[in-house]
Amino acid sequence: MTDATPGFSLELSSDLREMRSWVHEFAESVMRPAAAEWDEREQTPWPILQEASKIGLYSLDFFATQFFEDSGLGFVTAVEELFWGDAGLGLSLVGSTLAAVAIVANGTPEQVGEWCPQMFGAPDDVKLGAFCSSEPNAGSDVGAIKTRAAYDEAKDEWVINGVKTWATNGGIAHVHVVVASVDSSLGSRGQASFIVPPGTRGLSQGQKFKKHGIRASHTAEVILDDVRVPGHCLVGGKDKLDRRLDRVRSGGRGGDQAAMKTFEASRPGVAAMAVGVGRAAVEYAIEYARTRTQFGRAIGQNQGVAFQLADMQAAVDAARLLTQRAAWMARQGKSFEHAEGSMAKLVAGETAVRVTEQAIQILGGNGYTREYPVERWHRDAKIFTIFEGTSEIQRMIIGRAVTGLDVR
């Protein structure tokens, strides 16, 4: 027997609980009242970004503090609250972090220090970052990326040509991080990421997409036409790239591919987004079921409704636990041997779609109108089964991890 205090706890630290309350207050008082307006406008919500920046919520310092918090739960806790507020506004607030993660996960300390702060700016001059990986013919198949980066040794510059699509903040960001092929014969193992500084000639916005959901978040094509960036803008540096390419060409392992490493690091955060949307729908449906009366009693007293709510609540709680596990494992440096990051993203994304649809059903005709937020949450939720790896891709990754077989 031992008197040692158990080391396992599911309770957030007091600091995280305080942070969660602070973010929730912003989500409730600033984001919720503005959500429907910005969904209709389909524009980047600069006033919301500025309000968040003024209080330190939209800042590199805040996101870095939560991302590197000891338990690993800081970032996913904050993200859940923001997306409980609204997914479109939430993605506008966290969209820059994907570009920052791309540099943090693969770059040098000097690159992190120089470029990540520029993705957020200051309260009186808010900036954005954009991570550009997907292409018109290379979504889930990152090995099919056609954007090329050629090294001009005489000028120590990389020349990038191609078209990116589905880029959050694409074309309006201050700093873009672009995945390009440097040796197309190697497929995804011949790719690297490049920082495109603000004002670089040849980078422009293409089509801005009108979307089903998350409409307050800017999504667009990014066109790269003879874009020249300095040699030091190769994420991780040229020496590291050359060593990796030499290993691959000689038959060795190339290490993690740049885009996939970024997506893997971000999956617990994306799962937390879905949990936030799902939780919002469950809470709203529960309150509606308590107060809406039909046939002389609250509809929540009917088993047909109450049982749905029970399943919805259980599903969201389960998704949160998977998300927290993945976030904790990532922070402790534990490998995702069973693709725990993909598990979290898969379950949370599909849960969000399911429970938001159930919330509409519980609200009936009211749920189908824009007078109530659940139809917007349902539109928003669908993206979580698509972006940063579709549900099908997540299942393939998990299948490979658990079987050890080359699942295709």
As annotated, the active-site residues are: 388
Contacts of 110 (CB under 8 A, 6+ apart): 232
What is the CB neighbour count within 10 angstroms for residue 6?
Answer: 6
Q: Is the dihedral of CA 372, 321, 386, 33 positive or negative?
A: positive
Q: Is 85 exposed, middle or buried, given 0-12, 13-18 or 19+ CB atoms closer than 10 A?
A: buried
Q: What single string gives the DSSP state of each residue in 373-388?
A: THHHHHHHHGGGGTTT
191 and 231 Cβ atoms separated by less than 8 Å: no
Cβ-contact 88, 39 below 8 angstroms: yes
Q: 273: closest CA among 91, 60, 128, 66?
A: 91
d(CA 31, CA 23): 10
The tokens of 13 are what? 């630290």
3-state secondary structure of 70: coil
Helix (H, G, I), strand (E, B) or coil at 328: helix
Place of tokens 């709680």: 317
Phi, psi of 223 (to 5 degrees): -100, 130
Task: Tell me how far apart the alpha carbons of residues 82 and 388 are, in angstroms, rounded to a whole number.
Answer: 19
